[in-house]
């Protein structure tokens, strides 16, 4: 760098000394200095024009202006910077092309949306599953292309991270989709749609198998239970056989409950929503009657129930299913807490306008590692204790599916000395 500066300094000194010599020979000192300065400035402007012209034409290497000194360094630095920029740009283009190829190869539809639901980008699977063309529909509002009420609701609730939606493909009615909207960065969202038709078909086959097997088991089990009752009532039954007969009869009753719950769960999973079966459900009355019945039976002299009910809140739903939610949660809390426990039952407005059915107990609590598995079929925190209490392991699974069918959810939280089950119904179901 010092070498290039030295060339410019020598060039400037040459012009000054030349002006002084001409001034000495001619006697026109000022004019000679002016002429030398103008020549130096003119030469600089010529070099600057050449550099500008080269930069504007794209900085081609074969058109690089001939220079020396600082001008050579400036030209070389500009050319090197341009090459780095072009290399970086090419790398970015290659990376973007690879990303586009990867996203295009994915079987799931991917659509990039801004905060106004306008399509910024989509892959090929979006055309196959949703009918959204990556070239034609960029710049269009996605809710103008997919006109579904549930889909519009998902878009408007984009702040609820991870919420999924199931619907039929608007492009092919034989395709069932699971749609999820995920935030990418502020003002940018990724809409993902997955084909779950095969999964739904397999689940339908599984539900059909369970339903058929349960139906087939029910009849012989009823016959066996009938014979066991006859043996139990037989006065000539040997004394040493009575415990075995009683135990067999109890297990038969338990199996009948399991089959009944399996059929109920299969029905909840397989049935599509039928608005005609819904009616206005008086939940306060159901809670009062259920709590009164339980307080006189399984909770008698063992548990205390406290009710906090807003009598004005009614919902629209399937009454027998909602009743099973209330009964299962209350029985679950009574059966799995020790004698002397206090259970608080609430039916109130939630913070976001929904209605909440709350069952809170002061029992020992549920370990955190079990909470996410509680609604799985036949899952038990304490297997031996649950069987002693007569549980089937399907109660919370039934509650979960009833709440899903009513557009709600079941939330569970627990710590030592406090367990809370909250079944909430959305605001649009409140009458």
**pLDDT digit string (tens) for 196-225?**
888 888 877 877 787 787 778 878 888 888
- 106-195: which CATH topology? Beta-Lactamase (3.30.450)
Q: Cα dist. 228→104, 361, 391, 423 in Å?
A: 64, 38, 22, 40
Do 176 and 168 meet the contact criterion of CB atoms below 8 Å apart? yes
Evaluate if residue 41 carries a pLDDT over 70. Answer: yes
Condensed to tens digits (0 to 9), the pLDDT of residues 372-431 reads 888 888 777 765 554 555 567 788 888 998 998 888 999 999 988 899 999 999 988 988
pLDDT at position 156 is: 82
Element (H, E) at 343: strand 342-349
- 199-270: which CATH topology? Helix Hairpins (1.10.287)
Evaluate if residue 15 carries a pLDDT over 60. Answer: yes
Do 213 and 265 meet the contact criterion of CB atoms below 8 Å apart? no
> Which CATH class for the 276-429 domain?
alpha beta
Q: What is the dihedral of CA 317, 350, 399, 332, to 10 degrees?
A: -130
Listed by start position, the domains of the chain span 2-100, 106-195, 199-270, 276-429
Structure token digits, residue 304: 């205390």
Mean pLDDT for the stretch of residues 41-55: 78
* Least trusted range by pLDDT, from 95-109, 164-178, 280-294, 331-345: 95-109
Other CB atoms within 10 Å distance of the CB of residue 91: 10
Evaluate if residue 306 carries a pLDDT over 80. Answer: yes
Mean pLDDT for the stretch of residues 168-193: 86
pLDDT at position 357 is: 95
pLDDT at position 349 is: 92
What percent of the chain has pLDDT above 90?
A: 16
- Sorting pLDDT into bands at 50, 70 and 90, what band is 154? confident
pLDDT at position 312 is: 92
Mean pLDDT for the stretch of residues 92-111: 82
Task: Please write down the long-range contacts of 243-246, taking CB distance under 8 Å and 24 or more positions apart.
Answer: none
């Amino acid at each position: 760098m010092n070498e290039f500066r030295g060339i410019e300094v020598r060039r400037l000194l040459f012009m000054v000394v030349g002006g002084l010599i001409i001034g000495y020979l001619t006697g026109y000192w000022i004019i000679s200095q002016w002429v030398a300065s103008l020549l130096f400035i003119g030469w600089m402007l010529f070099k600057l024009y050449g550099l500008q012209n080269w930069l504007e034409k794209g900085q081609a290497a074969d058109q690089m202006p001939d220079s020396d000194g600082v001008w050579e360094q400036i030209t070389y630095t500009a050319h090197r910077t341009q090459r780095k920029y072009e290399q970086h740009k090419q790398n970015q283009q290659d990376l973007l092309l690879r990303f586009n190829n990867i996203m295009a190869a994915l079987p799931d539809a991917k659509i990039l949306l801004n905060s106004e639901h306008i399509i910024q980008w989509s892959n090929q699977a979006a055309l196959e599953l949703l009918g959204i063309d990556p070239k034609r529909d960029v710049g269009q509002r996605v809710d103008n292309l997919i006109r579904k009420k549930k889909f519009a609701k998902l878009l408007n609730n984009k702040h609820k991270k991870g919420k999924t939606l199931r619907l039929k493909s608007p492009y092919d009615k034989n395709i069932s989709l699971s749609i999820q909207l995920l935030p990418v960065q502020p003002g940018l969202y990724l809409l993902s749609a997955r084909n779950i038709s095969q999964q739904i078909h397999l689940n339908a086959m599984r539900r059909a198998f369970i339903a058929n097997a349960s139906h087939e088991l029910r009849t012989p089990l009823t016959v066996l239970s009938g014979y066991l009752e006859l043996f139990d009532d037989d006065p000539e039954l040997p004394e040493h056989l009575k415990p075995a007969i009683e135990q067999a009869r109890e297990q038969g009753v338990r199996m009948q409950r399991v089959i009944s719950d399996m059929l109920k769960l299969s029905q909840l999973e397989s049935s599509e929503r039928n608005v005609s079966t819904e009616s206005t459900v008086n939940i306060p009355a159901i809670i009062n009657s259920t709590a009164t019945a339980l307080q006189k039976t399984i909770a008698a002299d063992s548990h205390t129930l406290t009710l906090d009910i807003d009598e004005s809140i009614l919902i629209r739903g399937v009454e027998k299913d909602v009743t099973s939610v209330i009964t299962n949660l209350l029985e679950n809390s009574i059966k799995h807490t020790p004698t002397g426990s206090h259970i608080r039952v609430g039916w109130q407005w939630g913070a976001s306008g929904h209605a909440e059915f709350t069952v809170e107990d002061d029992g020992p609590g549920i370990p955190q590692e079990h909470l996410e598995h509680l609604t799985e079929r036949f899952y038990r925190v304490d297997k031996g204790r649950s069987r002693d209490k007569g549980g089937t392991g399907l109660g919370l699974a039934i509650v979960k599916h009833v709440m899903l069918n009513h557009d709600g959810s079941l939330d569970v939280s627990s710590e030592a000395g406090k367990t809370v089950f909250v079944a909430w119904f959305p605001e649009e179901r409140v009458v």
